[in-house]
Amino acid sequence: MKIPLVDLKANYLSIKEEIDLAVAETLDSCQFIGGDAVRNFESEFAEYVGAENCVSCANGTDALELSLQALGVDSGDEVIVPAISWIATSECVTSVNATPVFVDVDPDTLTICPNAVADAVTEKTKAIIPVHLYGCPAPMQRLREIASQHSLLIIEDCAQAHGARFGDQNIGTFGDASTFSFFPGKNLGAFGDAGAVFAKDPQVARRVRMIANHGQTKKNDHRMEGRNSRMDALHAAVLSVKLKHLPRWTAVRIELAKRYQKKLESLPLRLPIVPADCQHVFHLYVVRTNDRDQLQSHLESRGVSVGIHYPKPLPLLDCYCTDDTKKKYPNAARACEQILSIPIYPELTEPQQDYIVRCIADFFG
């Protein structure tokens, strides 16, 4: 049996008629950038997240960079980021001429460790970027306490966590800004690159929109220089269709995670933890074992695609690495040698999942 890590084709085919109609309507309108489709998606997504001031943009990386810029993060500022994430989380800090300060992750959830954040605060610290890694909410309550104690901004990186909840509040509603990616493989994915920002302060949201559209508020009125980071109407049309299905897809991901938990818990594997009172949306299902490399080849040889998110902690990447970094992030360094993402997506069938479980059980004999 061949099982991909994500199945974008199966996802498309499951809603093909609706998608094709929305795409045809967009082509017919010849409104390709911005316009009604984009405005509609922004308000639908704002309602879904339960936050105001949604501004669409070209991708999740830009969403982070635009947020930092609109919030006034600048050269001389330090921004605290977790040692495990996709590089966009730290790249955006460098892009606005500030300095990323990496901190270790919690050994259980692999999201940013609040104690490590508190220890890393200096006079220059301006912001924290918690990442809801794999769909698991970061510890927002503790982070908010630390942020308010030191007057720091919070920018939530929600790229992997559409629909996740911390307590009775949706992620994306905690930060001064929060950012989403609609990269095709994310829980809500466009047919190309797309992203969005939420800003608590409507002024900040206006600034994001202005920067993302060459500094204009209206045509040819440039109060500042900006850039081009707008959402295409085709993506917005696709996202509006998919958003209607997202609650169901999320429920299936959670159900599949429960089945994995039940069927894998007797094996010598460390399984994902869902923090108390949280809704984890399982963008990825990440197991941990000291035999990771062997388990990876075993599964691949049986046709099961797997992934490693991510092979190295951010501070150990060549672009950041300094000599003593490995010792400074022990939890992240250990985890990156043990983690393996196994298939989880709404179209994964129970027989497919049972096959994956059997292959893993075979490996451990």
Ligand X SMILES: *Cc1c(COP(=O)(O)O)cnc(C)c1O
- Which residues sit at the interface with ligand X, rule CB under 6 A? 59-61, 85-86, 88-89, 131, 157, 159-160, 181, 183, 193, 195
- Taking Cα atoms as reference points, which of 120, 197, 181 lies closest to residue 152? 120
**Which residue, 131 or 348, has its beta carbon nearer to ligand X?**
131
DSSP secondary structure letter of residue 105: B
State the nearest-atom distance from the C-beta of 218 to ligand X, in Å. 28
Residue nearest to ligand X (CB): 60
Angle at CA of residue 68, ends 120 and 233, nearest 5°:
140
**Which residue, 80 or 88, has its beta carbon nearer to ligand X?**
88
**Which residue, 62 or 176, has its beta carbon nearer to ligand X?**
62
**Which residue, 161 or 359, has its beta carbon nearer to ligand X?**
161
**Which residue, 7 or 157, has its beta carbon nearer to ligand X?**
157
- Taking Cα atoms as reference points, which of 232, 234, 230, 281 lies closest to residue 63? 230
Bridging pattern class, strands 153-157 and 278-279: unpaired
**Which residue, 190 or 359, has its beta carbon nearer to ligand X?**
190
Q: Which residues of 323-354 are buried (b: 16+ CB within 10 A; e: fewer)?
A: eebeebbebbbebbebbbbbbbbbbbeeebbe
State the nearest-atom distance from the C-beta of 145 to ligand X, in Å. 23
**Which residue, 134 or 352, has its beta carbon nearer to ligand X?**
134
State the nearest-atom distance from the C-beta of 303 to ligand X, in Å. 26
Strand, helix or coil for residue 297:
helix
State the nearest-atom distance from the C-beta of 188 to ligand X, in Å. 11
- Answer for the pair 341, 286: CB distance below 8 angstroms, yes or no: yes
Q: Is the previous residue joined to 310 through a cis bond, with omega within 30 degrees of 0?
A: yes
State the nearest-atom distance from the C-beta of 136 to ligand X, in Å. 12
State the nearest-atom distance from the C-beta of 150 to ligand X, in Å. 24
Give the C-alpha separation, 25 to 236, whole Å: 12
Strand, helix or coil for residue 279:
strand
State the nearest-atom distance from the C-beta of 181 to ligand X, in Å. 3
Give the C-alpha separation, 99 to 165, whole Å: 29
Structure tokens at 141: 């309550």
Structure tokens at 173: 């509603």
**Which residue, 93 or 264, has its beta carbon nearer to ligand X?**
93
- CB-CB neighbours of 165 under 10 Å: 18
Strand, helix or coil for residue 33:
strand
State the nearest-atom distance from the C-beta of 322 to ligand X, in Å. 23
